[in-house]
Amino acid sequence: MPSHDRVLPPLSRRGFLTAGTAAALALAPGPAWAGPRPFGRYGSPTARLTPKTLYVHPAGRGDFTSVQAAVTAASGSGWTLVVAPGTYRETVAVDATRTDMTGIGAGDDPRAVVIVYDNAAGTPKPGGGTYGTTGSATTLVQADGFTAHRITFANDWLRADHPGVSGTQAVAIKVQGDRSAFHHCRFLGHQDTLYADSMALGVFARQYFAHCYAEGDVDFVFGRGTAVFEHCHFRTLTRTDLSSAPYGFVFAPSTAGANPRGYLVTRSRVTGEAPDAYYKLARPWVPSSDPTARPSLTVRDTHLGPGIDAVAPYANMSDSFPWQDQRFAEYRNTGPGAVVTVPENRPRLTATEAESHTRGAYLGDWRPYERP
């Protein structure tokens, strides 16, 4: 396959924090364009791919040195941002007016381009108060039609560094726009890593994640979006602050009751570094702002490693909204975490029902998985 489609072994956020920058980002010696051609085949400020292509380089060899500066300059629709290899410690917000934006990591691998910050829900804000879950996001995408290729989105806030903070949610990215696609991207955090959501309760935002990697511990993929995860790798982290199970939950959908489709995980895998059966596959999130939510999650044709509790893979977030009343289902999963030992704890689709749980059914006339 082409070099830009290579899938290298993932480096966890824990490794990213403890390793040197060059080692963590696989930049030594780096691709050929790290020197004279930092943007590779994507042009340069003197040879733009299109008039609406902007270039970001941390040492000033592009149009901007920060991703947010490029986003701010890209007003309107249809811009492409090419980001050179490097670590960009900043927060980034793509508001709803900047539609059909594309972000391209110019490296060979998503580890080469990292957007990272360290706010948590309980982090004090300069003007008073705290950031809250949404405010903690390193990257916020509200525009429709956003696409990212080979970029790492991270939040490196750690509980151990802030023992007095109770709001430990720390979002790497919050995605609210419709037609949001991520190809070969990485999402690193602990609690609430990837917030796949929508702009409003009555808005059903479609999102597509292909060949992506996400890691965390508590509810690290969550929200009310209609999201398809295909050929993705979810990795559960160990926890030194807890001595017993569960350490956390992979998925926590909060699908609106009127939305027929929530999260679909297909042809993916769940692995982890925690002891066997120390993680639940999911729990439903029924937020106080929407007590009529009916969280929806289908996991199909996916390998579930031993870290998933096969006996009781689902749990309640609130006993007022038991998981059995929600829309959880599985189909043709494999691995030790998928073994059915207590049938009533593993709701499964029939072959006929599974026909309506496909990427095409979830995404409708939007086909981000097809090459133009």
The pLDDT value recorded for residue 223 is: 98
Spatial contact of 214 and 220, defined as CB atoms under 8 Å apart? yes
pLDDT digits (tens, 9 = 90+) for 245-267: 999 999 999 999 999 999 999 99
Per-residue pLDDT reduced to its tens digit, 267-310: 999 999 999 999 999 999 999 999 999 999 999 999 999 999 99
Q: How confident is the model at residue 95 (pLDDT cuts 50, 70, 90)?
A: very high
Let me know: does 103 contact 149? Beta carbons within 8 Å.
Answer: yes
Tell how strand 173-175 and strand 206-210 pair up: unpaired
Q: Is 325 a catalytic residue?
A: no
For CA atoms 11, 12, 16, 18, give the dihedral sign: negative
pLDDT digits (tens, 9 = 90+) for 307-328: 999 999 999 999 999 999 999 9
Residue 370 token pair: 């097809």
Looking at the predicted structure, is the pLDDT value of residue 19 above 70?
A: no
Three-state secondary structure along the chain? CCHHHCCCCCCCHHHHHHCCHHHHCCCCCCCHHHCCCCCHHHCECCECCCCCEEEECCCCCCCECCHHHHHHHCCCCCCEEEECCEEEECCEEECCCCCCCEEEECCCCHHHEEEEECCCCCCECCCCCECHHHHCCCEEECCCCCEEECCEEEECCCHHHCCCCCCCCCCCEEECCCCEEEECCEEECCCCCEEECCCCCCCCCEEEEECCEEEECCCCEEECCEEEEECCEEEECCCCCCCCCCCEEEEEECCCCCCCCCEEEECCEEEECCCCCCEEEECCCCCCCCCCCCCEEEEECCEECCCECCCCCECCCCCCCCHHHCEEEEECCECHHHCCCCHHHCCECCHHHHCCCCHHHHHCCCCCCCCC
Active-site annotation holder among 63, 109, 144, 192: 192
Q: What Å distances lie between residue 183 and 92, 201, 256, 327, 328, CA to CA?
A: 19, 26, 26, 27, 26
What's the maximum distance between 2 C-alpha atoms anywhere in the chain? Answer: 63
Banded pLDDT at 36 (limits 50, 70, 90):
confident
- Bridge partner residues of 130 (DSSP): 124
DSSP bridge pairs for 94: 141
Distances in whole angstroms, Cα of residue 370 to Cα of each of 128, 359, 366: 47, 12, 10
Residue 236: is its pLDDT beyond 80?
yes
Question: Which residues have C-beta within 8 Å of that of residue 30, sequence separation ≥ 6?
Answer: 85, 112
Which of these is catalytic: 108, 109, 217, 219? 219
Structure tokens at 355: 């026909």
Residue 27: the pLDDT is 30
Give the integer Cα–Cα distance in Å for 131 and 21.
28
Measure Cα distances from 44 to 27, 39, 41, 51 in Å: 20, 6, 9, 11
pLDDT of residue 31 exceeding 90: no
Cα four-point dihedral sign 69, 73, 79, 82: negative
State residue 284's pLDDT score.
98
Average pLDDT over residues 91-106: 98
Q: What's the confidence (pLDDT) of residue 3? A: 33
Q: Could you tell me how far CA 153 lies from the centroid of its own chain? A: 8
Annotated catalytic residue 144: no
Which pLDDT value is given to residue 15?
52
